């Protein structure tokens, strides 16, 4: 009987040891990383969903999407470590950098493109044609939009003094005011359902052309905006011939507390599984590890810098 009792105790101890080992292993691999983004239905939320899916399924990293009220909310969350990753446009990042010193870039995820649209049956073709017209301005609920409007106006040699301001809180209100005849133009990002809605409502819209020669004036207002090529097609509503459209970058970022090896692994996993990203978020067709690294005046995470160094990726100039 003593031998049986001793054997039982050994078996029990072994079982407890195995259970403890399993719990420890589970705890080591079950760390959750949150990616803060805008609300469901936005481009950033879709991109975040694709990233979380790929990192979880291909990189064994438990990443969960954390929707928020917007970029002004989510950027401080990442800075304070309430979320480990975030997605926001470069203008929001630039505005927030002084108040959020622990932010660290991973890089440029993909570009965003926008335009000034007018009714297709008007004679207006370029930004300069807006002189004396009713232009949406203010954007009290979207603080980074107003400087963008002023920068695009500058490409046509205009300031707010050359137009009739129509004050709006956000881009949706601006589009609605245009649709009901209270404004002569509106600003929005390409790819948004609202653009297609307004196009159908007013019987057709035209994107005003931005001259390359005007970008020097625009960059005095917002240095990180640039032109990228657009071709007529379903995505570029209102573009009836090849032209450059106003472009800015959507960034993925983290904070200084996230471990270098985790950021490195995230980049490596996303780069190796791009097809899976695109299957969920077509906008990520533009994603590449090489495209992440641009010469922005914001600090990059050491893990990202190590990845760029190991893969001979040099920082690209903002166009």
- Domains of the chain with CATH codes: 31-111+249-310 (3.40.190.10), 113-248 (3.40.190.10)
Measured CA to CA, the distance from residue 124 to residue 61 in angstroms comes to 51
- From first CA to last CA, the distance across the chain in angstroms is 83
Q: What are 19-24's contacts with CB under 8 Å, separation 24+?
A: none
Residue segments in the chain with a per-residue pLDDT below the cut of 70: 1-30
Nearest Cα neighbor of 41 from 64, 70, 84, 83 is 70
- pTM for this predicted structure: 0.81
Report, in this order, helix, strand and coil percent for the chain, each rounded to 5. Answer: 45, 25, 30
230-263 confidence digits (pLDDT tens) = 999 988 999 999 999 999 999 999 999 999 999 9
Alpha helices in the chain (DSSP H): 2-29, 43-59, 71-79, 90-96, 145-155, 171-179, 193-202, 215-219, 260-272, 274-280, 289-292, 302-310
Residue 73: count other Cβ atoms within 10 Å of its Cβ: 12
Residue 30 is predicted with a pLDDT of 66
SS3 of residue 83 by DSSP: coil
Residue 140 is predicted with a pLDDT of 85
Residue 11 is predicted with a pLDDT of 40
Rounded to whole angstroms, what are the CA distances from 190 to 64, 126, 242?
A: 27, 18, 15
Residue 152 is predicted with a pLDDT of 98
CB-count burial class (<10 Å; 0-12, 13-18, 19+) for 59: middle
Residue 319 is predicted with a pLDDT of 74
Helix (H) or strand (E) holding 168: strand 164-168
Residue 247 is predicted with a pLDDT of 96
SS3 of residue 7 by DSSP: helix
């Amino acid at each position: 009987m003593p031998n049986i009792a001793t054997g039982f105790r050994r078996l029990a101890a072994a079982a407890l040891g195995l259970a403890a080992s399993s719990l420890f292993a589970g705890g080591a691999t079950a760390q959750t990383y949150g990616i803060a983004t805008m609300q469901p239905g936005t481009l950033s939320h879709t991109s975040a969903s694709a990233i979380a899916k790929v990192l979880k399924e291909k990189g064994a990293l438990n990443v969960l999407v954390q929707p928020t009220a917007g970029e002004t909310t989510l950027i401080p969350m990442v800075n304070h470590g309430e979320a480990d990753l975030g997605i926001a446009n470069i203008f929001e990042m630039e505005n927030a950098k002084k108040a959020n010193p622990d932010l660290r870039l991973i890089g440029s995820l993909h570009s965003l493109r926008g335009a000034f649209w007018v009714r297709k049956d008007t004679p207006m073709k370029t930004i300069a044609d807006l002189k004396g017209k009713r232009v949406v301005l203010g954007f009290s609920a979207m603080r980074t939009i107003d400087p963008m409007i002023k920068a695009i106006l500058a490409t046509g040699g205009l300031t707010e003094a050359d137009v009739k301001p129509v004050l709006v809180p956000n881009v949706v209100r601006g589009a609605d005011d245009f649709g009901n005849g209270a404004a002569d133009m509106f600003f929005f990002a390409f790819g948004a359902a609202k653009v297609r809605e307004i196009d159908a409502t007013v019987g057709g819209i035209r994107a005003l052309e931005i001259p390359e020669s005007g970008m020097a004036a625009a960059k005095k207002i917002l240095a990180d905006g640039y032109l990228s090529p657009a071709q007529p097609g379903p995505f570029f509503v209102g573009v009836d011939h090849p032209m450059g459209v106003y472009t800015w970058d959507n960034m993925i970022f983290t904070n200084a507390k996230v471990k270098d090896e985790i950021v490195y692994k995230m980049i490596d996993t996303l780069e190796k599984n791009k097809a899976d990203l695109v299957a969920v978020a077509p906008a990520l067709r533009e994603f590449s590890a090489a495209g992440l690294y641009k010469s922005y005046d914001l600090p990059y995470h050491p893990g990202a810098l190590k990845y760029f160094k190991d893969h001979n990726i040099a920082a690209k100039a903002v166009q």
